[in-house]
Amino acid sequence: MTDSQQARNIRLTVAVVLIFITVIVAGFVYRVQQPRVMSATEMKVNGLYLFETPRNFGEISLIDHKGKPFDRARFEGKWSLVFFGFTYCPDVCPTTMAFLDQFMGELEGTEAADTQVVMVSVDPARDTVEQLGQYVPYFNPDFIGVTGEFLDIHRFATALNTPFRKVPGQDENYQVDHSSNVVLINPAGDYHGFFKAPLDLAKMKVTYRSALVHWDY
């Protein structure tokens, strides 16, 4: 082997080693930059309670803030964050709706496109289609407001473990006690779990993404 051939082989070997090192380093950096995926136990500690087996909550027959039918099929194909509230709520509801708008703004890639926010009224007597049509888009034009017959909403809320009741002894300016949790419904249209209040933006981002990753498995 001539000196030139030997030098060429050495350069080739060095190049291969450098490429190998570059690939290893790039892979390490990529993994470090990826958000950590939490276990089910870690998600629970951080406020997201997931069921081992998602629950079928049955059929529903409601109406959205644009006057269109809202049934179980409206949950299929997307992840849904469902909040039960009402437009006359003085504090928890507007705070939660603003939080969910901020949360949606934090999602990356296709996460936002694959996620929808639904506010279901626990006060259908006052929350008409028109009322919801003014209230819900104020927080985000893509959010969906839902109302309907009281018994239909009550059955839906009960199936999602989200109790509510009208505060007794008040006039027409009554309040409604309700849960501040946010229900998570998976793309199959099943009750997947819930985010326990009080909500924390940083924790919810990590737990939500972890839930999506586990679903993809």
How far is CA 15 from its chain centroid? Answer: 47
Question: How far, CA to CA in Å, does 186 sit from each of 15, 22, 60?
Answer: 48, 39, 16
Which two three-digit tokens encode residue 23?
A: 């690939």
* 3 state SS of 26: helix
- In the block, tokens 């051939």 appear at 5
Nearest Cα neighbor of 115 from 81, 73, 162, 90 is 81
The answer to whether the beta carbons of residues 79 and 116 sit under 8 Å apart is yes
Residues flagged as binding site for Cu cation: 89, 93, 178
**What element of type H or E holds 62?**
strand 61-64
Give the relative orientation of helices 92-106 and 201-216 as an angle to the nearest 10 degrees. Answer: 60
Radius of gyration (C-alpha) of the chain in whole angstroms:
24
**What element of type H or E holds 116?**
strand 115-121
Residues flagged as binding site: 89, 93, 178
State the chain's maximal CA–CA distance in angstroms: 101
